[in-house]
Amino acid sequence: MTPSQTNLSSAVLAVRGLSKHFGGVKALDGIDLHVAPGELLGVIGPNGAGKTALINTITGFYRATSGSIELDGQEISHLPMHQIGRLGISRTFQNIRLFKRMSVLENVLVAFKTYNQNPLRSFFRAGSARADIASAMHWLEQLQLADRADALASSLAYGDARRLEIARALAGEPRLLLLDEPAAGMNEAETAQLTRDIKKIRSSISSILLIEHDMGLIRALSDRIVAMDYGKKIAEGGAREVLEHPEVLRAYLGTEEEVTSP
User: Where on the chain is the footprint of Mg ion (CB under 5 A)?
Assistant: 51-52, 94
Site string for ligand ADP, 25-44 (x = CB under 6 A): x-x-----------------
- Which residues on adjacent β-strands are paired with residue 152? 103
Among 12, 33, 35, 51, binds ligand ADP (CB under 6 A): 51
Residue 53 interacting partner from ligand ADP, Mg ion, none (CB closer than 5 to 8 Å by kind): ligand ADP
Q: How far is the CB of 145 from Mg ion (least distance, A)?
A: 25
Q: At what angle do helices 129-142 and 158-171 cross, to 10 degrees?
A: 130
**Would you call 230 helix, strand, or coil by DSSP?**
coil
Return the closest-CA partner of residue 166 out of 111, 220, 123, 218: 111
Q: Determine if 45 is a binding residue for ligand ADP (CB under 6 A).
A: yes
DSSP category for residue 103? B
Question: Is the distance from CB of 213 to CB of 128 less than 8 angstroms?
Answer: no
Question: Is the distance from CB of 258 to CB of 252 less than 8 angstroms?
Answer: yes
Q: How far is the CB of 28 from Mg ion (least distance, A)?
A: 12
Q: Determine if 185 is a binding residue for ligand ADP (CB under 6 A).
A: no
Task: Please choose, out of 50-58, 143-151, 159-167, 234-242, the segment that lies near ligand ADP by the rule CB under 6 A.
Answer: 50-58
Site string for ligand ADP, 102-121 (x = CB under 6 A): --------------------
Among 52, 57, 77, 222, binds ligand ADP (CB under 6 A): 52
Site string for ligand ADP, 4-23 (x = CB under 6 A): ------------------x-
Among 2, 10, 47, 261, binds ligand ADP (CB under 6 A): 47
Q: Determine if 99 is a binding residue for ligand ADP (CB under 6 A).
A: no
Parallel/antiparallel/unpaired status of strands 207-211 and 176-180: parallel
Q: Determine if 182 is a binding residue for ligand ADP (CB under 6 A).
A: no
How many of the chain's residues bind ligand ADP (CB under 6 A)?
11
Question: Is the distance from CB of 16 to CB of 197 less than 8 angstroms?
Answer: no
DSSP category for residue 204? G
Parallel/antiparallel/unpaired status of strands 207-211 and 224-229: unpaired
Task: Please choose, out of 49-57, 141-149, 185-193, 247-255, the segment that lies near ligand ADP by the rule CB under 6 A.
Answer: 49-57
Q: Determine if 158 is a binding residue for ligand ADP (CB under 6 A).
A: no
Query: How far, in Å, CA of 147 to CA of 158, rounded?
Result: 16
Task: Please choose, out of 48-56, 100-108, 126-134, 163-171, the segment that lies near ligand ADP by the rule CB under 6 A.
Answer: 48-56
Question: Is the distance from CB of 156 to CB of 148 less than 8 angstroms?
Answer: yes
Phi/psi-derived region of residue 173, left when phi > 0, alpha when psi is between -120 and 50, beta in every other case: left
